[in-house]
A and B are shown apart, each in its own frame.
Chain A
Amino acid sequence: DAGVIQSPRHEVTEMGQEVTLRCKPISGHDYLFWYRQTMMRGLELLIYFNNNVPIDDSGMPEDRFSAKMPNASFSTLKIQPSEPRDSAVYFCASSLYRGEELFFGSGTQLSVL
């Protein structure tokens, strides 16, 4: 398996624009997680899915953020409109079972100017 695949690797956009981050989990993994990493706040859990259903979205910063998982092999994290404070590295991770270790993608480095 190729592991968790995220795209794009880097995204530079202007404030107010819509940003869509994409993730393909490892085949067969039932859990998918979105994390955000910044120097100030470290790794923050944004949302996670089980069998394509959102389970906990309490970490989503505000209504500008939304996440979907239309099928078992694809998830998106959308920011609309984007703001400079959204600049961070966004990681997607998947796991086979709830208690098992997470497998992380390489992340998307987002810069909002």
Chain B
Amino acid sequence: AQSVAQPEDQVNVAEGNPLTVKCTYSVSGNPYLFWYVQYPNRGLQFLLKYITGDNLVKGSYGFEAEFNKSQTSFHLKKPSALVSDSALYFCAVRDNQAGTALIFGKGTTLSVSS
């Protein structure tokens, strides 16, 4: 069975500092990995995805994520945080070989202070 874990309920960073939101996953086959962001009272918005190829994936709003197969991780990063980045972030995984639908982590609240 596939699963995804976001070990931190909340991450706090100061504006201008780098941020990392952690994600680990478990699948039996090859993973498709995604990050989504949710602003209050809104649906989830796609940020970036890893299917295959380069382990470093670049996405929207300056975010990037690094796929690490040995550590089964897909951490979200940004070199310089903005106050407007404050939101709820979800990691999601899909087992490509099993053909299952996307499964989401519990989410991590990112709070960027000015």
Q: Judge whether A101 and B101 touch: CB under 8 Å.
A: no
Q: Which of the four size classes fits the interface of chain B?
A: 20 to 34
Of A60-68, A71-79, A102-110, the one with at least 4 CB within 8 A of chain B = A102-110
Of A14-22, A42-50, A80-88, the one with at least 4 CB within 8 A of chain B = A42-50
CB-CB nearest in chain A for B34: A101
- Indicate whether A101 sits within 8 Å of B96 (C-beta atoms), given known contacts A42-B104, A45-B102, A45-B103: no
Q: Judge whether A42 and B105 touch: CB under 8 Å.
A: yes
User: Does B99 have its Cβ within 8 Å of any Cβ on chain A?
Assistant: yes
User: Does B63 have its Cβ within 8 Å of any Cβ on chain A?
Assistant: no
The 10 closest A-B pairs by CB, nearest first: A104-B43, A43-B104, A42-B106, A101-B46, A104-B44, A106-B43, A48-B101, A105-B43, A45-B101, A99-B32
What are 7 inter-chain pairs, A to B, with CB distance below 8 A?
A35-B104, A42-B106, A42-B107, A43-B44, A99-B94, A101-B46, A102-B44
